[in-house]
Amino acid sequence: MQVTMHEDIESVLYSEEDIARRVHEMGQAITADYADKAEEGITVISVLCGGAVFMTDLVRAINLPIAMDFMAVSSYGNAAQSSGVVRIIKDLTHEIAGRHVIIAEDIIDSGLTLNYLLDILAARNPASIAVAALLKKQVPNQAEVDCKYLGFECPNEFVVGYGLDFAEKYRNLPYVGILKPEVYKK
Q: Contact positions toward Mg ion, by CB under 5 A?
A: 50, 75, 106
**Judged by CB, which is closer to ligand IMP: 101, or 105?**
105
Nearest to 67 by CA among 92, 88, 48, 90: 92
Catalytic residue among 69, 106, 109, 165: 109
Q: How far is the CB of 97 from ligand IMP (least distance, A)?
A: 25
Distance of CA 74 to the CA centre of its chain: 14
What is the spatial order of strands in the sheet that 100-108 belongs to?
Answer: 88-90, 67-73, 42-48, 100-108, 128-137, 149-154
Q: Which does 8 bind (CB under 5 to 8 A by kind): ligand IMP, Mg ion, none?
A: none
| Catalytic site includes residue 109 | yes
Q: How far is the CB of 63 from ligand IMP (least distance, A)?
A: 27
- Contact string 49-88 vs ligand IMP (x = CB under 6 A): -x------------------------xx-----x------
What is the separation, in whole angstroms, between the first and last Cα of the chain? 16
Query: Among 44, 164, 173, 179, which residue sits at the site for ligand IMP (rule: CB under 6 A)?
Result: 164
178: number of Cβ within 10 Å = 18
Residues 138 and 156 sit within 8 Å (Cβ to Cβ): yes
The amino acid sitting at 86 is V
Q: How far is the CB of 50 from ligand IMP (least distance, A)?
A: 4
Dihedral (CA of 67, 60, 149, 158) sign? negative
Query: Among 106, 117, 134, 179, which residue sits at the site for ligand IMP (rule: CB under 6 A)?
Result: 106
Residue closest to Mg ion, measured at CB: 50
Q: How far is the CB of 40 from Mg ion (least distance, A)?
A: 28
Nearest to 108 by CA among 90, 83, 131: 131
Peptide bond into 154 cis (omega under 30): no
Q: What is the DSSP letter of 80?
A: S
Query: Among 104, 107, 129, 179, which residue sits at the site for ligand IMP (rule: CB under 6 A)?
Result: 107
Q: Which does 177 bind (CB under 5 to 8 A by kind): Mg ion, ligand IMP, none?
A: none
* Positions marked active-site: 109
